[in-house]
Amino acid sequence: MINVLKVVVPSVLAFFFGIIITPFFTDIFYKYKMWKKSPRTESNITTGDFAKVHNTHAELSTPRLGGMIIWVSVILTVLAIYLFSIVFPSDLTIKLNFLSRNQTIIPLVALILASLIGLVDDLLQIFGKGTYAKDPLFYRKIKIACILLIGLAISFWFYDKLEATAIHIPFDGELELGLWFIPFFILVMLGVFSTSVIDGMDGLAGGVLAIIFTAYAVIAFVHNQIDISAFCSVIAGGILAFLWFNIPPARFYMGETGILGLTVTLSVIAFLTNSALLLLVIGFPLVITSLSVIIQIISYKYFGKRRVFRLAPLHHHFEVIGWSREKIVMRYWIISVVFAIIGVIIALIS
* 325-346 residue pLDDT tens: 999 999 999 999 999 999 999 9
- Calculate the CA dihedral of residues 108, 114, 120, 123 and round it to 10 degrees: -90
State pTM to two decimals: 0.94
pLDDT tens readout for residues 72-113:
999 999 999 999 999 999 998 999 999 998 899 999 999 999
Question: What SS3 class is residue 170?
Answer: coil
Nearest partner of 230 among 77, 340, 339, judged by Cα: 77
pLDDT tens readout for residues 249-290:
899 999 999 999 999 999 999 999 999 999 999 999 999 999
Distances (CA, A) of 284 to 117, 158, 208, 280, 319: 26, 25, 10, 6, 19
Q: Are 189 and 150 in contact (CB under 8 A)?
A: yes
Looking at this protein, which amino acid is placed at residue 226? Answer: I
CA 29/CA 198 separation, integer angstroms: 23
| Cα Dmax for the chain | 68
Q: Is the pLDDT of residue 44 over 90?
A: no
pLDDT for 35 equals 86
For residue 191, the tally of other CB atoms under 10 A from its CB is 17
CA 54/CA 182 separation, integer angstroms: 39
